[in-house]
Amino acid sequence: MSVTQVSMMGQKGFADDTYGSLFVGHPTLFGSFSLGAVYYTLGDITLVDSSNVSSTVSAEKDYSLAFNYSEEFFGLLGTGLSLKYLNSKLVDSVSASAFAFDAGIQSRIDEGKLALGFAVLNIGSDMKYLDASEPLPLTVRIGGSYRLTFGDAGKAVLALDLVKERESDFKKFIGADYVWHDLVAVRGGYKIGQDNGKISAGIGFTAESFGIDYALTSGGLGQVHSASLTYRFGQSAAARQYSSVMDERVARSKEMHNIRKSIKSPRVNVAVLGLNSLGAGENSAALLADGLFLEFSKMDKAFNVLDSARVRETIRSSGVDLSQCTDIPCLQGVGRSLGTDKIVTGLLTLSQGEYSLNVQMLDVESGTIEVTQAVKASSMKDMEYEIRSIVRSLAKSVQ
């Protein structure tokens, strides 16, 4: 989660059962927090008492309230915790409640393309209806997903889940999600070895700060329809304007790159000046700038990276404000004062809940923007994974 967002979902089941949820989430420097409410009803039934008097009551009503927290460490390990209050009421007369929590962990490898996760759900007290106690449906989930990118053709995710509920065998689920230009998503899923609701399909649309999704599940008992709406808060208008400016800079830089090839050198002196930020926060820009410096340092066969402390001290002594030093003559002056061959700068923007990062390498002597790399990601954690590919592309340009 990269921006504050509100999400609501409604579902119509096989018979008269309905399901609804509402979640509000907010990201912080210490992780993401959210509050959620879930409601489920099984529909109405007619009861006839000993006097032959009939009445219509709700067969079952359930709801839960949850406080959720998630955080990712070192860009490799994600954790999540949900504290829940559960309440269930049968035939409008018998009720029970319980407290429980969910916990999960996820690891990303292969530059973030492969994700592996493990979670345990419904760890808590029993539901007690009068004199009868019923344990919560303790559930263990193990899953994995692999992310594919197809350039301008979009991106996709393939997923596999194994689910083990209390006193039942493992259930197996497979699914796929394809996204085109972050505007349209097509999804499909299949429950292996199950009869009810074994096939599902869905479609989603994103426009401005809104996201709308619809899904259909088909099985032996009928069809289940579900729809959801998500709103992401952000300063989309200003971000769009700056994104347009950066797109022009990218196009201009590519033209220069076609005219002049990058200078081939076994070890090129490089200074990472940092990243400017628009709508994404200075802390986020500084974090990615540190990531750039670290990845450049690993490419010691191609680059001799100037010490970051020396770069900061030289810039401070010169009195240059890097946030205002965006034209080539100013950047050349900074590069000459550092005594480096090339400098790396960039701009991080946040628009409609999506991060965009443009990184450029400038040749100090000629004033040519030799290489420009532009990437997008839905979260800061995903953007951190893109840093390595950016630096590798820049390294290829000087080898």
* pLDDT value of residue 258: 47
Own/partner long-range contacts of 45-52 (Cβ < 8 Å, ≥24 apart): 45/91, 47/91
| β pairing state of 199-207 and 127-129 | unpaired
Q: How far apart are CA 282 and CA 273, in angstroms?
A: 14
CA atoms within 13 A on the CB side of 113: 9
- Location of each CATH 3.40.50.10070 domain in the chain: 236-398
- Location of each CATH 2.40.160.40 domain in the chain: 5-232
The rounded mean pLDDT for the chain is: 83
Fold classification of 236-398 is: Rossmann fold (3.40.50)
Q: Which residues contact 43 (CB under 8 A, 6 or more apart)?
A: 15, 16, 17, 18, 58, 59
Q: How far apart are CA 36 and CA 65, in angstroms?
A: 6
* pLDDT value of residue 65: 96
**218-234 pLDDT, tens digit each:** 866 678 889 999 998 86
Q: Token digits for 272?
A: 């990472």
**145-168 pLDDT, tens digit each:** 999 988 778 899 999 999 998 878
**331-364 pLDDT, tens digit each:** 888 889 888 999 988 888 888 778 888 888 888 9
Contact present, 273 and 311 (Cβ < 8 Å): yes
Q: For the domain 5-232, what is the CATH code?
A: 2.40.160.40
Please identify every stretch of the chain with a pLDDT value under 70, giving residue numbers as ranges.
1-2, 14-15, 48-50, 74-75, 195-197, 219-221, 234-266, 397-399
Whole-model pTM: value is 0.57
* pLDDT value of residue 265: 46
